[in-house]
Chain A
C-alpha cells in the first residue's frame, strides 16, 4: 500500500522534470534566455525559481552563544560565567522549478554544538581527611537534522512588481530524537576521595516525529527597492517517544546507565520575516531583515507527568547581501543580531551560503 501511494509521488515530479520546462516556456511570456534568468537581479525575479531551473545551496552558520534571554525577557550574559558556546551549523538544499509558478525543494542540515554548565566543587574537610569532588557538565548536540520536503506555488503571472506564494512541506524524521548513551568519566584522581566527575550527555538533532510546515510569502518591488514578507508555521503531526539515560556512579570510578522512554509533543512554531532590499547594481543586493519566531504549546513527560514546554520568542535583525559571482554562482552572507526574546538562546551569527543555479534541460 505504501508503495502504491509512493508511485504517483515519484512519477509526478519525473513527468514535470522532463515536460515542465517546455510547458513553462509555452505559458510564460518574458525572458527565456537562460543566462538572463540566471543573472536576474533580486528586485526583478519572482518568489520561486523559473520553470526548469535547478538550484543547490550549501550554507555554513557560525553562531556565538554568548547570551541568552531568560523567562522575564532579560539578557543573561553566559560568557561572564564561562558557559558560552559556539554552534557550527551546515545546511544544504536543492530546489527545482517544475513550472514558472511551482517549485519543489528538499533541505537537510547538520549541527555540532557543545554546551558547558557551571562547574561545581563539593568540599568536605575535617581534621583527619579532605574530600574534594568537582563536577563538570557538558551537553553535545551533534548529527544530521530531519529532511524537509517543500512545494511552493506562486501567482501564475509574470513578475513585475508584486508576487505572492504559498508553501507546504513536511519534515520527515530521518534524524532520530533519541539521546545517545552518555559518556561520563571520572578524571584527575589524586587521592581516593579527590577527583573530577565529567557528566557528558550526547544528543541527536531531530524532531523525532513528522512535522508539517505551511508558509506564505509576498514581495513588492519598486525600482531598485524591494520589500519581502514571509510567514511560516510548523506543527507536529503526532506525539513522539524519546529516550533518556539515568546514571549511577559506582565505586567513584565508573557509571551504570539505565535507558528510559518518555513521551513528548513538540511545540508549534510561528516565524515571521520582513526584509527590505536595495539592488545596488545588477550583481549586488543588500538587505536588512527582521525575523520573529515564537513557539507555543507542547509538553514533555518527566516521571509520568506532562510538563508544558516553555513558550519562547526571539526577534533578530539581520543585515545581508547577495552577490552574483558568475551566471551560475551566487554568494550570500548575513549577520544576525538578537534584539529581544524570552526563554531562548540569543546567539550572534554569521551565515554564508553558496548557491549554484542552472537550467539542466535548456540549451
Chain B
C-alpha cells in the first residue's frame, strides 16, 4: 500500500513537471510579422505569404554595340548608329494564400536610335547628310502572372512552384509620327498576346539557395507594321520560346546576397503572312547574371548585369539591371 502511494506521488510529480516543462521549453524566437517582411531572397518563401503585398520597380538598360551573328560569332555593329533601350518595370505582387501569388507587371519603354551618315554625289558634286532620329517612349506591354507552390517548401526539401503568365499587348506596336524614312517614333510593344507556363524549383541550405526554372512561351498571331515604309499591317507570329535557368544565391552577411544565374533562351523561327522571314530568325543565347541584393528592413535593393556568353542572331551587349522593392 505504501509502495502504491509512493508511485502515485511520483506520477503526480512527473506530471506536474511535464505540464510546466512544455511551457518552458517553447522558447524559440517568435517571428513577428515585421520580421517575415524583412527576409532576403534566400530566406523568404518562394511565394508571398497570404495578405502580403509587394511593390517594385526594375530598370533595364542596354546599349547596342555588339551582336551574335547567325553563325554564332560575336561582332561589333560596324555602321555608325547609337541605339539604347531602357525599360522601367513596375510590379505588384500579392499573396492570395501562403502558396498562391498573383503578380501584375507594367513597363515603360524608352528606345533610341540615332545616326548621321554622309553621302557624296559625284555627278552633281554635292554632299548630303542623312540624319536618323528614332525614339520610342511610352507604356509597353502588360503581364499577369500566377504562381502556386505545388510542392511547398515547409514539407519538401525541394520546393516546386508552377507558373502561368499572360502577356497583353498594351504597348504601341507600330511606328508612329512618321516624318520620313529616317525620322519616326519606334514601337514600344510586341503586338501579340502570349501565354507561358513553367516550373520553378528551389532548395535552401543556409546560407545558400539553389534555384532552377524552365519555361515555355507560346506566342500567338498578331498584326503590325515592321517598317515605317509599310503601307499596312501584316500578320505575324513570333517563334515560341523555351527558357531555362539555374542559379546559386549566397548570403554574404545577414542582409546582402550574392546572386548567380546561368540562363538559356531559345526562340524559334517566326512567320510573316505564314512564311518564314529574316526579320524573325531563330535565335538563342546563353548568359550569366551575377548580382548583389541588399535587404534593408522591408526595402530590397538589387543590381545585376546580364552578360551574354554565347548565342546566335541576338544582341551580345550586357544588360544592366537595378531593382527596388518594398513589402507592405
Contacts and interface: CB of A to CB of B under 8 A. Distances in A.
Contacts, number: 91
A285 to B, nearest CB: 15
Interface stretch (B36-44, B79-87, B276-284): B79-87
Interface stretch (A83-91, A164-172, A229-237, A300-308): A83-91
A273 interface: no
Contacts of A153: none
B325 interface: no
A84 B123 CA distance: 32
Contacts of A331: 292
B78 A118 contact: no
Contacts of B320: 62, 350
B78 A82 contact: no
B252 A119 contact: no
A114 B115 CA distance: 16
Contacts of A82: 79-82, 114-117, 132
Secondary structure at the A interface, as helix, strand, loop or mixed, is strand
Contact of A85 (B65, B122, B252, B318): B65
B321 interface: no
Interface string A320-363: 00010110010100000000000000000010000000000000
B78 A138 contact: yes
Contacts of A123: 119-123
Interface stretch (A2-10, A73-81, A102-110, A261-269): A73-81
Contacts of A64: 63
B77 interface: yes
A80 B117 contact: no
Contact of B76 (A119, A140, A325): A140
Given A86-B63, A325-B253, A326-B252, A79 B120 contact: no
Contact of A325 (B114, B117, B118, B256): B256
Which of B65, B80, B114, B115 has the largest number of chain A CB atoms within 10 A?
B80
Interface of A: 62, 64, 66, 78-86, 88, 114, 116-126, 136, 138, 140, 198, 200, 323, 325-326, 329, 331, 350
28 contacts: A62-B320, A81-B82, A82-B79, A82-B80, A82-B81, A82-B115, A83-B80, A83-B82, A84-B63, A84-B82, A88-B318, A116-B78, A116-B80, A118-B118, A119-B79, A119-B80, A119-B118, A120-B118, A121-B117, A121-B119, A122-B120, A123-B119, A123-B120, A123-B123, A125-B122, A136-B79, A138-B76, A200-B78
The 10 A-B pairs of least Cβ separation, nearest first, read A82-B115, A79-B82, A82-B80, A81-B116, A124-B122, A116-B80, A125-B123, A121-B119, A82-B81, A84-B82
